[in-house]
Amino acid sequence: MDKIEISGKHPGPPGTGLCGKLTIRGAKNAALPIQCAALLGQGTTRLRHLPRLTDVSTMNGLLRELGCSVAADMDARTVEIDPDQVGAGTLEAPYEQVKTMRASVTVMGPLLGRFGRARVSLPGGCAIGARPIDQHLKGLEALGAEVELAHGYVELRAKRLIGARFSFDKVTVGGTQNVMMAASLAKGHSLLENVAREPEVQELAVFLNKMGARISGAGTDAIEIEGVDALNGIDHAILPDRIEAGTFAIAAAITRGDVLLEHAPVDHMHAVIDKLVEAGVECRVEDGGLRVIGPERIRPIDVVTRPHPGFPTDMQAQIMVLAAMADGASVIRETIFENRFMHVPELNRLGADIVVNGNTAVIRGPTRFSGTTVMATDLRASASLVLAGLVADGQTEVRRVYHLDRGYEAIEARLRPLGAEITRYHGAGA
C-alpha cells in the first residue's frame, strides 16, 4: 500500500504558502452516474474529461462485467461505452463491487429501465454511516418495479416501467439519479418531488436530455420526466469537480498562499466560497477560474452541512482544518451522515483541539499542527489529513492512500508544483 509523506511548516507571512496555478479535473460524482447512464443509450457513448481515479476505473470494470464493451483511454481521459450486448448478461452488481464502491448501486435504475431487470447487492454500512437505499427502491417501486430482497441482494423486475408521481421522504442524490434514469424510459409522465438539487443531478439531466430524454426541473426540488421509447449513445464532457476545487482552495487558504484554480466551477461553489470569505480568505473569480489568497488571520466560522445549495458534507472534513487554523472557536454541525467525524481523532493527534458531541464539533483554534503518522477511513477525511500535514511542523505520514486515489487525481503531483513538499512512496506503510 502506498503512503504519502508531507514536510509541512506552520504558515509564514501572507504570500509565502502554496503559489501558482492548478487545473481542476472532472467531477467524480458527475462521472460515476453518467457512466451508469451510458447503459441507457443505444450505441456508443463517449465520455471526455474523466478524472483519473480508481472509482472511475471500478465503474468501468462493473460496466464490463454487465456486458458493456468499454474502451478506456485514460491518458486522453476518455472512455467509450457500448452497452448493446448487456441484455444477454447477468444484469448483476455483485457484493465485491458494491462493497468497494457504493455508487455501483446507480446501475439499478438504468438496468431496470432499459432491460427490465437488475440484481444489486445491498450496500450495507460504510465508514461514514448506515447509508440505506430504501428511497431508491421506493421510487422504483412507484414506477411499477417489483422489488424483492433475498440473500443480501435486491432483485428488481418490470416489463415496462410506468410514469408516476413520487415524493422522496429524504433528499438523496443517488436516489434521485436512479429514479430519474429509470423514469426516462418509462411509459408516460413522472413527477419526482423533494429531489436532490446537486449540480451532479443537473448534469445527469443534461446528459440524459442529450441522449433524447425529456427531463425538466433538474436543479429545483421537483423534476418532471416525459418517458421516451429509446435513448441514444452520445459524446459528453464531464464538468469540473467542485469538491476538488474546494479542497485545493483550503490548501491555498491555510498555507497563506495564492493559487489560481483553473476551471473551478464557481457557480456550484457558492456555499463553500461564502464560508471561505467569512473566514477572511480572499476569493476572486478570475480567468475562468477561482483565485484564492490566504489571509494573515483566519476568522472562526460556523458551518452546518446541508443538501445543495447548502454547505456540502463532502467539504466538512476539509473546512474543519481551516477552522482549526482560525483565531477562536468554530462550530461544525454534520446533518447528512451520522458518523462523519472519523477524521477528528486523527486531527487531534496532529495537535488540533476538537471536541465532538453528537453531530456537532467544536474546534478551538488557532492550532499549531505538528506532524505524525495518521490514517483515515474515508476519502474526504484523508484529504483533511493532507491539508493538516501541509501546515504541520515536521513530517506527516498519511497512510491508506487508496482512499485519496478514489477522489483526487495524483494529489501529490498536483500540490508539488505549488511548492508543497509532498511525496508518495509506493508499496509502503499499512
According to DSSP, the β-strands at 3-8 and 214-216 are: unpaired
Sequence-distant (6+) residues with CB within 8 A of 53 are: 28, 31, 405, 406, 407, 408, 409
Region binding ligand UD1 by CB under 6 A among candidate stretches 83-91, 144-152, 171-179, 356-364 = 171-179
Kindly state whether residue 170 participates in binding ligand UD1, applying the rule CB under 6 A: yes
Asked if 339 contacts 317 with a C-beta cutoff of 8 angstroms, the reply is no
- Binding-site string for ligand UD1 from residue 394 to residue 413, where x marks contact by CB under 6 A and - marks none: --------------------
Kindly state whether residue 200 participates in binding ligand UD1, applying the rule CB under 6 A: yes
Region binding ligand UD1 by CB under 6 A among candidate stretches 39-47, 123-131, 291-299, 417-425 = 123-131
Q: Shortest Cβ distance from residue 307 to ligand UD1 (Å)?
A: 7
According to DSSP, the β-strands at 146-150 and 222-226 are: unpaired
Q: Shortest Cβ distance from residue 421 to ligand UD1 (Å)?
A: 29
Q: How many Cα atoms occupy the beta-carbon half-sphere of 308 within 13 Å?
A: 22
Identified binder of ligand UD1 from the candidate list 190, 202, 313, 318, rule CB under 6 A: 313
Catalytic residue among 19, 68, 126, 283: 126
What number of chain residues touch ligand UD1 (CB under 6 A)? 24
* Of residues 317, 248, 324, 312, the one with CA closest to residue 279: 324
The separation between CA 99 and the C-alpha centre of its own chain, rounded to angstroms, equals: 17
| Nearer to ligand UD1 (CB atom), residue 369 or residue 408 | 408
Q: Residue 383 corresponds to which cell in the numbers above?
A: 484529504
Active-site residue, 19 included? no
Kindly state whether residue 32 participates in binding ligand UD1, applying the rule CB under 6 A: yes
* Of residues 328, 329, 372, the one with CA closest to residue 348: 372
Identified binder of ligand UD1 from the candidate list 22, 98, 142, 173, rule CB under 6 A: 173
For 20, other C-beta atoms within 10 Å of its C-beta total 12
Asked if 49 contacts 237 with a C-beta cutoff of 8 angstroms, the reply is yes
| Nearer to ligand UD1 (CB atom), residue 132 or residue 295 | 132
Identified binder of ligand UD1 from the candidate list 67, 83, 174, 294, rule CB under 6 A: 174
Kindly state whether residue 136 participates in binding ligand UD1, applying the rule CB under 6 A: yes
Region binding ligand UD1 by CB under 6 A among candidate stretches 112-120, 228-236, 275-283, 307-315 = 307-315
How would you classify residue 256: left for phi > 0, otherwise alpha for psi between -120 and 50, otherwise beta? left
Kindly state whether residue 29 participates in binding ligand UD1, applying the rule CB under 6 A: yes
Q: What's the burial of 265, exposed, middle or buried (CB within 10 Å: 0-12/13-18/19+)?
A: buried
* Of residues 198, 181, 199, the one with CA closest to residue 190: 181
Q: Residue 264 corresponds to which cell in the numbers above?
A: 473551478
Region binding ligand UD1 by CB under 6 A among candidate stretches 59-67, 312-320, 343-351, 366-374 = 312-320
User: Which residue of the chain is nearest ligand UD1 when measured via CB?
Assistant: 174
**Please, where are the H alpha helices in 282-399?**
316-324, 343-349, 379-390
For 10, other C-beta atoms within 10 Å of its C-beta total 14
Asked if 192 contacts 168 with a C-beta cutoff of 8 angstroms, the reply is yes
Q: Shortest Cβ distance from residue 172 to ligand UD1 (Å)?
A: 3
Kindly state whether residue 172 participates in binding ligand UD1, applying the rule CB under 6 A: yes
Q: Shortest Cβ distance from residue 150 to ligand UD1 (Å)?
A: 19
- Binding-site string for ligand UD1 from residue 355 to residue 394, where x marks contact by CB under 6 A and - marks none: ----------------------------------------
Of 82-111, which residues contact ligand UD1 (CB under 6 A)? 102-103
| Nearer to ligand UD1 (CB atom), residue 185 or residue 317 | 317
E strand residue ranges, 97-136: 117-121
How would you classify residue 311: left for phi > 0, otherwise alpha for psi between -120 and 50, otherwise beta? beta
Q: Shortest Cβ distance from residue 37 to ligand UD1 (Å)?
A: 13
Q: Which residues bind ligand UD1 (CB under 6 A)?
A: 29, 32, 102-103, 129-136, 170, 172-175, 196, 200, 312-314, 336-337
